[in-house]
Amino acid sequence: MTELSPYHEDQELDNNTSDNIHFRDILEQHISRRSLISKTASGAVALTLASTLTGCNDDDNSNNNGTPTTPTNPDKKPEKLTFNAVAKNLNDIVTVPEGYQATVLYALGDSINPAYPEWDDNNIPSGPSFQFRSGDCHDGMHFFGLNAATQRFDESVSDRGLLVMNHEYINPTFLHPKGPTKVDGRRPEDEVIREVNAHGVSVIEIKKDQTTQKVEVVKNSVFNRRITGSTVMDFAGVAAGSTLLATGYSPAGRQTRGTHNNCGNGYTPWGTYLTTEENFIGYFVRSAGDDALRRPEEIIALKRYGLKAGSSSRYAWETAKGGVESQDLYDRWNADVKTDTASSDYRNGPNTFGWMVEIDPFDGRQNPVKRTSLGRFAHEDSACRAVAGQPLAFYMGDDSRGEYIYKFVSDAKWDTKDVNGGYRAGDKYMNAGKLYVAKFNNDGSGQWIELSYGKNGLDQSNTVYPFGSQADVVTFARLAADSVGATKMDRPEWCTVNPENGEIYVTLTNNSNRGSSYPTDAANPRAYEDLYNNETVQKGNVNGHIIRFRETGDLTTAESFKWDIYLFGAEASMASNINLSGLTDNNDLSSPDGMWFDPRGVLWIQTDDGAYTDVTNCMMLAALPGQIGDGTKATTSNGTETLVGKKVTDDTLRRFLTGPKECEITGIAMTPDYKAIFINVQHPGEDSADYATANSHWPATQTNPGNTTARPRSATVVITRKDGGVIAG
Ligand code: FEO
Ligand code: CA
Ligand code: CA
């Protein structure tokens, strides 16, 4: 049953075979060596701050009545980190600093409705019941304060709120009573329903005791809700109603069912949640003979997004036989041309995923909305930069090897009166605007290249893809980006905005093919070898890095920027031309992925690693970064020049937490009083051979370290201080 073997997120597709490195780039590499030196000699970039400049957590916000809300940022950024760093370890537990406590809040299968009983390892609930239970593989997450009087978003409230989180994918080994099965070549329908429902998003109400800081799920809240791989969603934006989105379910291309592979997240300044559709393509099958029934441009697009003819699906949902649900709900995962028209089959099914999805956690009546103007790719995360009076900018990564960083700039200028505007505000800010892709020059400058139909060669005459409309451009954003020469990055993951100065940070988690199929450049400068377990050779950018950039003039609409590399992941013992940030045992890390600036300006960095896990489980660190230009130029072990930020110290980067065995740490949220921080532990024990021999028994081990029998389950953890104080304060 190889097709049902566990999915590993690091099985990232290599679909970017575009040849967009031209002679011009090679010439620039030569020029840049000189300009790099002169730029650095002329001093760092000026960093005077505009007083209006904030991230999405600006305390400029007022509610719909124009009444100012209580400032949410009463606590200043700490001058240095003082908690005791957590040591690297391989223990099967979440470890936090002395004086802190970690409590499991919400684990796979936990009920969010009093009518559904508590989880029981030995009595796995039915597939349909997972509409009222936690999904699997918890990922991106955000806390929305809930105003008791208005029942709407209030960024100043900490004791009541909606915690919204992604359930990226599933670990079928532990989701089902005895792992995944097939009967006569078909997946049993109840298993498929359980799997589809274990994907998507959770909205749960939580309450926090203001004295003890104890956090609990409010199980009978009317806000508790699951959005799954079957939930009806609307399309909005430039591709809505396009023939590219026409399916048997929605011939007019206005709706689809479900969201899946929701990885990183985002949130809007008006109080809605953004969920991303990352490795969506793996859910579809396409027959070997299907190419013969397709137009040439369809084949180009399917190949670029990773659905070559003859592709099988990760979970084989298309094999289920309908009974409880209609057959059509399963047939839609087969993307073959089956009829005369796209309006009566699911050849366009893959086009209905890969979008940024808006969910109003305070409004359960309206459908979530897929915001197509932000482009279609393996969306990892998004960060919104909101400056009152300027258009909004949404920064987004496409997480596969050699993919790109994008930005969407709204036509509408941010007006704080739109706080709590729900989907109406989404229509205003996310449907009309411009999509850009980033090009990083080797001299520390960069350009945003506009991806608009009719500009930059994006028209019918384009040799990469014959673009006929903006709907084509956004649906096949990767092809548009290829044709304008965007920079191929080392797997762009999470994006976040520094609330102090508006600089944007993006994690580039790793790239095993950097230095081979992707030549190094200044923005992706490392290719080296490292041993895992003293035997297996790992190559390329083994440990990842974090790039940051600052818009010209600090404008969200800027079409150019300056960049440097804030941090290089490395093992503390690596050579100084690999460990370029000066990491020590208290803060060395590999494969940065989740990342978020809290409103004070503390940067939280999480890892989803497979390169340093011979030494330590995945982790979360706290950081106090400086600013672009605070470091120097550097030359990597492979001889590539780059710009690296100031070296970190024990005061500016410390390991705050380590996770249990074989997990990823992801998802970060905090109450506005900074007294509770939430993280997700994803896929503990993911390399277990089968359900009966688990490599991890977390979360049971969190309270009973000796447990050797419990099923490993992904879960949300809340961390508070034993003295009730401010986290990392
Ligand atoms: Fe789902 Fe790119 O991590
Ligand atoms: Ca190693
Ligand atoms: Ca991720």
Task: Spell out the SS3 assignment of 245-262.
Answer: HCCCCCCCCCEEECCCCE
> Of the ligands numbered here, which is closest to the C-alpha atom of 616?
2
pLDDT over 70 (residue 41):
no
Report residue 244: phi and psi, to 5°: -65, -20
Residue 477: per-residue pLDDT: 99
pLDDT 10s digits, 201-228: 999 999 999 999 999 999 999 999 999 9
277 pocket-lining for ligand 1 (C-beta < 6 Å): no
pLDDT over 80 (residue 426):
yes
Res. 2 pLDDT band, cuts 50 70 90:
very low
Place of tokens 């023939």: 243
Give strand pairing partners of 164. 142, 203
Res. 517 pLDDT band, cuts 50 70 90:
very high
686 pocket-lining for ligand 1 (C-beta < 6 Å): no
Residues 337-345, mean pLDDT to the nearest whole number: 98
For residue 492, how far is its CA from the centre of ligand 2 (angstroms)? 22
Residues 242-247, mean pLDDT to the nearest whole number: 98
pTM: 0.92
564 pocket-lining for ligand 1 (C-beta < 6 Å): no
418 pocket-lining for ligand 1 (C-beta < 6 Å): no
Residue 39: per-residue pLDDT: 31
Q: What is the DSSP letter of 524?
A: B
Pairing of strands 138-145, 100-107: unpaired
What contacts 11, CB < 8 A, 6 or more positions away? none
Residue 534, Cβ neighbours under 10 Å: how many? 6
Residues 339-359, mean pLDDT to the nearest whole number: 98
399 pocket-lining for ligand 1 (C-beta < 6 Å): yes
For residue 380, how far is its CA from the centre of ligand 3 (angstroms)? 6
For residue 539, how far is its CA from the centre of ligand 2 (angstroms)? 11
Q: How far is the first Cα of the chain from the last one, in angstroms, to the nearest whole number? A: 50
278 pocket-lining for ligand 1 (C-beta < 6 Å): yes
- The better pLDDT of the pair 7, 457 is held by 457
Per-domain boundaries in the chain: 87-280+353-721
For residue 607, how far is its CA from the centre of ligand 3 (angstroms)? 9
137 pocket-lining for ligand 1 (C-beta < 6 Å): no
- How far is Cα of residue 706 from the mean position of the Cα atoms in its chain? 34
For residue 543, how far is its CA from the centre of ligand 2 (angstroms)? 9
- The better pLDDT of the pair 34, 491 is held by 491
* Nearest residue (CA) to ligand 1, atom 3: 263
Q: How far apart are CA 70 and CA 374, in angstroms?
A: 32
Q: How far apart are CA 506 and CA 508, in angstroms?
A: 6
Say whether the peptide bond before residue 269 is cis (omega within 30 degrees of 0): no
380 pocket-lining for ligand 1 (C-beta < 6 Å): yes
664 pocket-lining for ligand 1 (C-beta < 6 Å): no
* Nearest residue (CA) to ligand 1, atom 1: 263
Residues 474-489, mean pLDDT to the nearest whole number: 98
Place of tokens 């258009």: 391
403 pocket-lining for ligand 1 (C-beta < 6 Å): no
Res. 568 pLDDT band, cuts 50 70 90:
very high
Ligand 1 atom showing the smallest separation from residue 509 Cα: 2
pLDDT 10s digits, 158-208: 999 999 999 999 999 999 999 999 999 999 999 999 999 999 999 999 999
Is residue 139 a contact partner of residue 190, using CB atoms and an 8 Å limit? no
E strands, 431-559, are 433-440, 445-450, 489-490, 492-497, 504-508, 530-532, 536-538, 545-551
- The better pLDDT of the pair 46, 402 is held by 402
Residue 14: per-residue pLDDT: 77
Ligand 1 atom showing the smallest separation from residue 378 Cα: 2
Is residue 358 a contact partner of residue 420, using CB atoms and an 8 Å limit? no
Q: What proportions of the chain, in percent to the nearest 5, are helix, strand and coil?
A: 15, 30, 55
What contacts 30, CB < 8 A, 6 or more positions away? none
Residue 406, Cβ neighbours under 10 Å: how many? 27
Ligand 1 atom showing the smallest separation from residue 397 Cα: 2
Ligand 1 atom showing the smallest separation from residue 608 Cα: 3
Ligand 1 atom showing the smallest separation from residue 278 Cα: 1
Task: Spell out the SS3 assignment of 303-335.
Answer: HHCCCCCCCCCCCCHHHCCCCCCCCHHHHCCEC
Q: Which of 85, 98, 76, 89 is nearest to 649 (CA)?
A: 85
